[in-house]
Each structure stands twice: as C-alpha cells, then as structure tokens.
Amino acid sequence: MRHKLVAAVGAAAMTVALAACGDDGSGGGGGGSSDSITVWLMDGSAPDSWVSELNTAFEEKYGVTVNVETQQWDGIQDRITTALSEDGTVDVLEIGNTQTVGYANTGGLADLGEFADEPWSENMLDSARVDGTLYALPWYGANRVVVYDKSIWADAGAEVPTTREEWIDALEKIDENTDAEPIYLPGQSYYVLGGFIADEGGSFAVQDGDSWEGALDTPAGQAGMDFYRQLQSFSNSPTDNDEASPQQSTEVVPAGDVASWIGLGWEAAGATAAIEEQGGEADFGYFPIPGKTADELGHVFLGGSNLAVSERAGNREMAMNWLRMATSQEWAQKYVDANEGGVVPNRTDVTAEPAPGTFAEAMVQSADVGFLPPLTPGWANVETEPNPIKEFMTRALDGDDFSAAAGDADSEITTRINRE
C-alpha cells in the first residue's frame, strides 16, 4: 500500500526520476562524516529540480556534501531496520507515515523536539509523534478522489455531487440512462471503507489502555459498511478482490465503460496513459469523496511520508541542519510548487494552488479531513495477508450476518495489532 500512496504523487506530478549528488541508484553506501551526510529518499518522492537546488544551497551554506541515495519501496522496511541498527549508515531518511511509529519505538530515530514549534499541518503531525515526542517531521501527503468519465456523466444527466445522497442519485441516473458501469468499486478497498467509518466517528481499532481492540462491530463500523455496500451495489466488481487485483486503473477502466472509480493520482495518470495507448482519449473529471452533508467532505486516508534523523547518524548536527532547511517554509513551498500543487503541504504557512479541474485540486480539498489507521507498530500485522478487514468486507457484502463477520475480524485485529 505504501508504494501506491507515494506513487500517487509520483505519477500525478513528479515525472522525473530522483537524482542528486552521490546517488548511484544502488540504495547502498555509508553515512555521514565531518564533510558529508547521507540522505535516503524514496524513488519518486521528490522532483530532481527541487533536490538539486536544495542540496546546492545546503552545500554552499555549510560546506558539507549531500549524498542522496534513492531507495525502492519494495523491501524498504528491512533495509531501514538494518540501517537504524548500525552506526553511520544513514543520516536523514524518508519514512512512510504509517511506519514511523514502529521505527520510533525501536529507538532508531532521533528526538526532534527542537522542531516542535513549527506550524506543522496538524492532521499530518500525529504520524510523526509517539507519546508526545516528535521523532519525524511531516513532508507531504496524498489521498484518493473520485475519478469520473465526463462524457458518460453528461449523457446520463448526472451532476458532480456535494453529498452522499447526491452521489447515489448520480449513480442511479447513470445506471438508468447509460450502459456504463456507474462505479467500479472492488469489494475489498478497505481504506475507502475506513473513510466511511471515520465519517461516523469510528476507526478500524481503538486503544484500550496499553492495548488495542478491533472496532468494526460497532455502530460506526456498521454504518460505514452499509454505505460501502450501497456504493458497491452499482459495481460489477467481485466482492473478493481489491483495487490492485486486477489493477483498476490499467486493467479495468481502460477495458470498458466505467463511469467512475475511486483512486490515487498515479492511478488516474496510469488510466489516461493506458487509454491513449489503445488509441482512445481519456476525458476524466475529479471530485472529492462527498460527505454526509455539503458542509464537510468525506474522510480519506491521508498517505504520505515523513523525514527523520537516525539516532546513530554519522553527522547528526548536519543531518539536523539539512532537515531544518528541507522542511522550512521556503523549501516546503518550493517543494509544493515543484509538484504543481499536487501534494498536501506539511505546514500551515505553505499553500498548494493546483490548476483548476485537476486531480490535485480535488485531492487538496480533502486534506483537512484526512484520517490515519491506528498509529501503532502492530498495525502492519493487521495489513498482512490474509487481511481480516478485507475478509470481513467480502463476508458483509455477500450477505453474512454483520455482527458475526465483524466480530471475527475484530478478534483477529485485536490479536495481530497487539503483537509487535
């Protein structure tokens, strides 16, 4: 999931590969010394122009060389775990926002309390703190929106919705007036479900003292699943697959008349490219996931990345200086501008101004209602296949007793989430 979330930014707005001083693409190498620091950034997370300009400015100011090593998401958790257990392997590193708490709990990340008073975006800050201590700094966020085929919606007389009720009305019009599939929604898109549960004030799991408990068998869980079921009834998708199997953007959408779907920026770009490769022309529009009322948008999973300093950095002083510069108002604004507004800013004094009608515009509108899964090291165990939330969703969509299906999932979530 993490690869997809970051790639959402990469395909939508970052079209160049990361390159910087000392990067040989191997992902290996040593950490900082008195005259250099090593920075690990993930493939696709930053435009080349921003990285190069930042490092040039840093080297001119401090006389210290910055060696950026590009990392791939595949296998990154093991590489980071190893690096954080060694002296001087890496100084500054990018970490997925849902992974930060796990690394902080191992003692591998430096305390960044000196940065606490900066105007960070509050809904991104939770993933960077553990028990009130700041172990990482927010860098950027990205989230899903609804992608729709403008021509199909126009033929159906459907209008862009501002509430859940209007959304259902639009899908009904498409169903009645066209031969298109009103919405493609796999049975197991559990982060989409998580947003609907968050709309009801719920979550996948809740903390009870020092432990966690699954929270699907609750009024919020049932209400969220009920709305998911209502949307999914307009889809031809099976109930036992997710958005990646088959890949909705490159395998499903280009293959047939799909009026709308819920996806990330990289998926929208991928669908456009796949349609054009077939000789067609994509005519997509975008809107935020609607909320229960027009006053508030629907909650969306806010993926993204943080930046941290290794507790065993080879050059901690310069690592802190690089982090301070990279996340400052000046360079954070340059980062957003380099991505054409296609990321959720990390600071309240940074603005994103994406072009009208773009995926980025719809995405940024939802930033204030982003949600995160339970921020605990054990959450990774829950997402391991077979994922109990996915299995619950299929059972619920197939007509099983809700409480029985949710109770079974909660039991498994509770077991896994408390196992670090």
Q: Flag whether 43 is in a domain.
A: yes
Q: pLDDT class for 20, splitting at 50, 70, 90?
A: very low
CATH code (residue 398) = 3.40.190.10
pLDDT in tens, 322-339: 999 999 999 999 999 998
Do 268 and 341 reside in the same domain of the chain? no
Do 198 and 310 reside in the same domain of the chain? no
Do 95 and 174 reside in the same domain of the chain? no
Instruction: Give buried/exposed letters for 193-222 (b at 16+ CB in 10 A, else e).
Output: bbbbbbbbebbbbeeeeeebebbbbbebbb
Q: Flag whether 35 is in a domain.
A: yes
Do 82 and 6 reside in the same domain of the chain? yes
Do 11 and 62 reside in the same domain of the chain? yes
Q: pLDDT class for 12, splitting at 50, 70, 90?
A: very low
Do 90 and 190 reside in the same domain of the chain? no
Do 398 and 331 reside in the same domain of the chain? no
Do 338 and 287 reside in the same domain of the chain? no
Domain of residue 351 covers 2-141+303-359
Q: pLDDT averaged over the chain?
A: 90
Q: Which of 407, 392, 405 is nearest to 240 (CA)?
A: 392
Last residue of a domain, one of 313, 336, 359: 359
Do 161 and 261 reside in the same domain of the chain? yes
pLDDT in tens, 259-313: 999 999 889 989 999 999 999 999 999 999 999 999 999 999 998 999 999 999 9
Residue 76: pLDDT over 50: yes
Q: Flag whether 203 is in a domain.
A: yes
Q: Which of 385, 390, 392 is nearest to 407 (CA)?
A: 392
Tally of domains in the chain: 2
Do 288 and 320 reside in the same domain of the chain? no
- What pTM was computed for the model? 0.82
Q: Flag whether 241 is in a domain.
A: yes
Do 382 and 339 reside in the same domain of the chain? no
